Amino acid sequence: MINYEIERKFILGDIEIPLELYNCKIIEIEQHYITSKNNDIEVRIRKINDNEYYQTIKEGSGIKRSEIEIEISKEQYEELLKYSKSSIKKYRYELVYDGNTIYIDTYDCNLYGLNTVEVEFSTIEEGNKYSIPEWFGEEVTYNKEYKNKNLSYMKYEKGALYDFN
- The active-site residue, picked from 4, 22, 33, 142, is 33
CA dihedral over 25, 28, 33, 38, signed as positive or negative: positive
The reply to whether 33 belongs to the active site is yes
What does the chain come to in residues?
A: 165
For 40, 53, 61, 71, 163, the CA distances from 48, given in Å and listed in that order, are: 25, 6, 24, 11, 26
Half-sphere exposure (Cβ direction) of 109: Cα atoms closer than 13 Å:
13
- The residues annotated with a catalytic role in the active site are 33
